[in-house]
Amino acid sequence: MKLRSPLVLLALAACAPKPVPVASPVAPAEPPAPPPRVNPLLSASTLPYAYPPFDRIQDADFKPAFEAGMAEQRKEVEAITHSPDAATFDNTIVALERSGRTLVRVQRAFGNLNSSNTNETLQALEEEMAPLLSAHDDAIKMDAALFARIDALYDQRAKLGLDPESAQLLERYHAIFLRAGAKLGEADKASLKALNGELSTLSTRFEQNVRAAMKDGGVVVDTLAELDGLSEGEISAAAEAATTRGLTGKWVISLQNTTIQPTLGELKNRALRERIFKASSERANGGDGDNTAIVAKIVDLRARKAALLGYPTFADYALGDETAQKPGAVDAMLDQVGKAALGKAKKEAADLQAIINRQARSEKTAPFTLQPWDWAFYAEQDRKARFDFDQAQVKPYFELDHVIKDGVFYAATQLYGITFVERKDLPVYNPTVRVFEVHDADGSVIGLLLLDYFQRDSKQGGAWMENYVDQTKLLDQKPVIANNLNIPPVAAGQPVLLTFDEVTTMFHEFGHALHGLFANTNYPLLSGTATPPDFVEYPSQFNEMWASDPTVLANYARHYQTGEAMPKALFDKVIAAQDYGGGYATLEYIEAAKIDMVWHELGAGKTPAAADVMGFERAALQGSGLEFAPVPPRYHTPYFSHVFAGGGYEAGYYAYIWSEVLARDTGAWFHEHGGLTRANGDVYRARILSRGRTEEPSALFQAFYGKAPDVGPLLEYRGLDAPKKKK
C-alpha cells in the first residue's frame, strides 16, 4: 500500500464533511530530521571479518577519514614516545603495532579502490594526500625520542626473553627506523622529508599518466576486415570498447600494461599489428602525459636519498633490506639467466624468420625482417606447426568459471584441504566482482577472497593481489584478500574463454592470495605477504606450476559447451609445448630488470636529463649485451609502473626471476616427494605460506628446502640451456 504524505492528508481533510467542532485543531508534528550521515571509514566494519562496506563508502568520505586517521595515530604515537615508563616490548613495539588502525583501514580501502575502480575524484585526492601521508610517516620514523626507546630495546634484545616472532618484530622495527633516517641529524632529516614528499607526488603523477595513456592509447579500427584473425568474442569486446568511447560503428583495441599486446598473436593485418605495438611501446613518452621528465627527477631524488642515508646508490639502499643484499648478486644472476635466454631467443627468431621467408616465396611477395609486432603472430604459427594446435583450439577448454572452481580452487583443495563458498550477500564495488568465503579442512573460516578479473577503464593495468584486511592474532583479524586481473570483457551472453597465459596468471595471483590467507602470525607487520619483493613473488611463481600439472589440467580443461575433457592428444601437446618461447619470455623480462637496475645503480648527480631518458635506456640494454631488436623489454621506462609508481619494486623488478629460482626448486621438491598431495601441501603451508616474515626469508627457504637455492630447475623449466660447468 502506498503511504500518503501529511500534506496530502490535510488536503483530503479540507474536502470532507465538517464535523461539529469540539476543540481547536492541532497542527501535525514535523517529521523528525534524518540523523546525520556517519562516515563508514571512521569505525571498524560490522560486516563479517571487517569486510569493507563498499555500498556505504562514498568518495567524499576518504579525505576526512585520512585526516582523522593521521590525527588519531599522532596521538597514539605521542603517548608511546612520551610515556614516563621505561621502554618495554609491550609499551613500545606492541603499542606501535596497535596504533593507526583507522589510518590503515582508510589507506587499504582507498588504495585498493583507486587501483581497481578509480575516478577523477579519487585520483585528485591521491595526489593531494600522497605528500601528506609521506610527511606523516616521516614524522613517526624520524622521531628521535621514539627511536631512542626502540634502540634501547634493540641493544638489550638478548636479555628480553622474547619468543622468536617477537624478536623478529623488534629487529624489523629497528631496521625500518634506521632505513627511514632515524639517526640522521636534524638538517639531513629535513632534507630527507622533502625528498620523500616530492617522490610521493611524482610517483603518483607517473601512475596517473600511465593510466591515462592506457585508456587514451587504445587503437581505433575503422573496418571489420582489419580484425581478421580475432575471435567473435574479441571482436564483440572491441566493438563494446568503441561504443563506451562514443565511437559507435568502430572498434577499439584496448591496451594492457605490457609492451606486447595479446592481439598481436592473432591479427593477420601487419599494418594494424604495427600500429598496436607502437601505441603500446610509445605510451607516456611525449605529449601531455609524458613521463620522461618525471622519471629523470625520480631517479635523481632516489639517488640523493640513498646518499643521505649513507649508500653509494639507491640499488644498494633498496637491496640492503632484501634477500639479494647487493646489486652485484642481482647483476650476476640476471647475466647468467639472460645469456641463456638470449641464445635461445636468437634460435627462436631464426625459426620465425624462416617461416616469413617461406611464406614470401610461396606468395611471391617480398620478404621482410622479423619485427617485434610480428613475433607473436609467427610464433603462434610455429607453435601450431610444432605441436599441431593453436590457441583457438585450446581456449574453448579454458572457460573462466571452470578454471576458477575446477582448476585454481581444486588444486588448493587437493594441497591444503581448503574449500570455497561463494557469498552473494556482501556488497561489491563493481558488479563483476565475486566474493568467496574460504574454509579450512576442519570447517573453520580462514578469511574472504575477492576475485576482480575483468578489464575496465577505471582499473589499472596488469594483475595483482591486495589485502583489504591483514591476518593478525594481536588484533583478532582474519584476512580479506583480493585478486585482480585484466581479462578483456566479452559481450553479454558470450563465454569468457581464456588463453593459457591468462590461466597461468590466475594461478600466479592465487599463489599470492594463499600467502595472505594462510598467514598465521601475531603481528600485522610480519603477516602474509609483508616480505621483500624478491621473496613475495616466490609463492605466486610456485603456484603457477599447478596450471599445467596433468592432474589439475585434466580436472579443469573441459569444453565450455559439451563439458568434454580436453582430448588426450591435445592435452599432451599443451604439456609438451610448455617451454615453447622460453627464450623470448625470459629475455623480455631480463631486459626490463636490467633497465631497472641500471637506473638505480646511478650515483647522486649522475642522472641524465629528461630528453636523454630513452637514450639512456637504449644504452643500458646495449651495454648489458642482452639487447635483441625483435624482443623489446616487457616494459619501457615511461610506463614501468612496478619501478616508478612507488609500488615497492624500485631496484627490485629482478624479484620475479630471483623468486622463480626458489619456486622451481620448490617444484622439484614437490615432485621428489610425490607431487600434488595433502602431506606436501601441509609442509609447504606450515614452513612458508603461514610464516610471513616471522623469520628472515632466506632462513625460511633453507629450512624448507634443506639447501641453498639452485638455478638449474629454473633453466630447465624455461627450456633454457643449463650453464656448463667449468672443468
Q: How many CA atoms lie within 13 A of 162 on its CB side?
A: 21
| Enclosing domain of residue 597 | 292-389+583-653
Q: Which residues of the chain have pLDDT under 50?
A: 1-23, 723-727
- On whether both 366 and 400 belong to a single domain, the answer is no
pLDDT of residue 708: 87
- On whether both 541 and 405 belong to a single domain, the answer is yes
| DSSP class of 82 | T
Q: Are 613 and 292 in contact (CB under 8 A)?
A: yes
Q: Please, is 310 exposed, middle or buried when counting C-beta atoms within 10 Å of its C-beta (0-12, 13-18, 19+)?
A: exposed
| DSSP class of 184 | S
In a domain, 571, yes or no: yes
Three-state DSSP state, 484: strand
- On whether both 485 and 630 belong to a single domain, the answer is no
| Among candidate residues 473, 475, 462, 265, the one with its CA nearest the CA of residue 372 | 265
d(Cα 188, Cα 177) in Å, to the nearest integer?
15
Please count the other Cβ atoms lying within 10 Å of the Cβ belonging to residue 185. Answer: 9
In a domain, 267, yes or no: yes
Please count the other Cβ atoms lying within 10 Å of the Cβ belonging to residue 409. Answer: 19
Q: What is the CATH number of the domain that holds 52?
A: 1.20.1050.40
The single-letter code of the amino acid at 330 is V
**Residue 698 φ/ψ region, left for φ over 0, alpha for ψ in the -120 to 50 degree band, beta for the rest:** alpha
Cell of 238: 572491441
Three-state DSSP state, 126: helix
Three-state DSSP state, 450: strand
The single-letter code of the amino acid at 416 is Y
Phi, psi of 216 (to 5 degrees): -80, -15
**Residue 513 φ/ψ region, left for φ over 0, alpha for ψ in the -120 to 50 degree band, beta for the rest:** alpha
| DSSP class of 567 | P
Per-residue pLDDT tens over the stretch 256-272: 889 999 999 999 999 99
Q: Please, is 364 exposed, middle or buried when counting C-beta atoms within 10 Å of its C-beta (0-12, 13-18, 19+)?
A: exposed
pLDDT of residue 646: 83
Cell of 649: 619494486
d(Cα 649, Cα 608) in Å, to the nearest integer?
21
In a domain, 160, yes or no: yes
Q: How many distinct structural domains can be found in the chain?
A: 4
In a domain, 1, yes or no: no
- Name the domain boundary from 260, 281, 302: 281
**pTM of this structure:** 0.87
- On whether both 262 and 239 belong to a single domain, the answer is yes
Q: How many CA atoms lie within 13 A of 629 on its CB side?
A: 5
pLDDT of residue 131: 94
- On whether both 415 and 488 belong to a single domain, the answer is yes
- On whether both 96 and 149 belong to a single domain, the answer is yes
> What residues contact residue 693 under an 8 Å CB cut-off, 6+ apart?
168, 172, 525, 526, 530, 531
Cell of 529: 605477504
Helix axes 144-155, 164-179, angle to 10 degrees: 140
List, by residue number, the catalytic residues: 509
d(Cα 484, Cα 467) in Å, to the nearest integer?
11
- On whether both 530 and 483 belong to a single domain, the answer is yes
> What residues contact residue 622 under an 8 Å CB cut-off, 6+ apart?
none
In a domain, 27, yes or no: no
In a domain, 50, yes or no: yes
Phi, psi of 605 (to 5 degrees): 85, 0
Cell of 163: 619468543
d(Cα 432, Cα 521) in Å, to the nearest integer?
32
Please count the other Cβ atoms lying within 10 Å of the Cβ belonging to residue 254. Answer: 25
- On whether both 103 and 228 belong to a single domain, the answer is no
- On whether both 510 and 570 belong to a single domain, the answer is yes
d(Cα 156, Cα 532) in Å, to the nearest integer?
26
pLDDT of residue 2: 36
pLDDT of residue 17: 37
pLDDT of residue 18: 39
pLDDT of residue 721: 65
- Name the domain boundary from 628, 653, 678: 653
In a domain, 506, yes or no: yes
- Name the domain boundary from 123, 157, 183: 183
Q: What is the CATH number of the domain that holds 603?
A: 1.10.1370.10
- On whether both 119 and 249 belong to a single domain, the answer is no
Q: Are 370 and 378 in contact (CB under 8 A)?
A: yes
- On whether both 526 and 626 belong to a single domain, the answer is no
Q: Is the dihedral of CA 654, 656, 662, 665 positive or negative?
A: negative
d(Cα 251, Cα 416) in Å, to the nearest integer?
45
d(Cα 277, Cα 264) in Å, to the nearest integer?
8
- On whether both 317 and 374 belong to a single domain, the answer is yes
d(Cα 634, Cα 649) in Å, to the nearest integer?
15
**Residue 391 φ/ψ region, left for φ over 0, alpha for ψ in the -120 to 50 degree band, beta for the rest:** alpha
d(Cα 528, Cα 685) in Å, to the nearest integer?
11
**Residue 269 φ/ψ region, left for φ over 0, alpha for ψ in the -120 to 50 degree band, beta for the rest:** beta
In a domain, 442, yes or no: yes
pLDDT of residue 370: 98
